[in-house]
Amino acid sequence: MNKNLQTLFAVGLIGGLSLTTSLAEDNFVRDGKFENAGLFTSADSAWELSYRNPELGTATYEDGEAPEGAGFLRLAPLNSAPPQYLAVQQKLDPAPAAGHYKLKAWIRINDEYAAKMPLVSVGWRVPGESGEAGSASVSLSQDAQPGQWTLCESEFEIPENAEGTYVFLFTYGSMGHADFDGVSLERKGE
């Protein structure tokens, strides 16, 4: 390879790597592509079960075709459980500053899913006398086709002084399962 082509290749490679790095740094959600097979077993896992009640169902990492990675998260309520919320959560650290944000997630359900549609939610609280809390979410629409990945998006504002910010992945019911991939929270330009 001649010198000019080597230089061009190196510049392109470095530029591509820096673009990938900057895109990842803009996302406040860690491991939102669910590419880590040790999702709930490693000590430094970004995700944890929101309700530690094993009778409600399972949250598992699954290998397979997914819109944004080599794997995805599956929430599966147990058929014997009465319909209840089953969720995983991640504390956003550092917490997003006040501003305008976009929440995105790919979600799909299977044929047996019979419940309220799954959703991804961001919640926060503002300290003070009122103990004000806020949230924003995206949900799979009622007419979603089972087996089809659907991109769900929402834009919202996080207020000044918000703290204790979490992202939650929810399902509600007792049949079937919901899959999640590509969960991101990115700040939009002012």
The domain ranges of the chain are: 30-187
Give tens-digit pLDDT for 60-76: 888 888 999 788 999 98
Superfamily per CATH, domain 30-187: Galactose-binding domain-like (2.60.120.260)
Q: Would you call 175 exposed, middle or buried from its count of C-beta atoms within 10 A (0-12, 13-18, 19+)?
A: middle
Helix (H) or strand (E) holding 77: strand 71-77
Per residue of the chain (190 residues), what is the pLDDT tens digit?
A: 444 433 333 333 333 333 333 334 588 998 888 876 655 655 667 788 776 566 778 888 888 889 997 889 999 887 665 667 788 899 998 889 999 999 999 999 999 987 788 999 999 988 876 667 899 999 999 999 999 999 999 999 999 889 889 999 998 877 889 999 999 999 997 6
Three-state DSSP state, 22: helix
Nearest to 59 by CA among 178, 166, 172, 165: 178
Three-state DSSP state, 25: helix
Question: In 10 A of CB 141, how many CB atoms?
Answer: 9
Q: Distance of CA 142 to CAs 113, 115, 121, 137, Å?
A: 12, 10, 17, 15
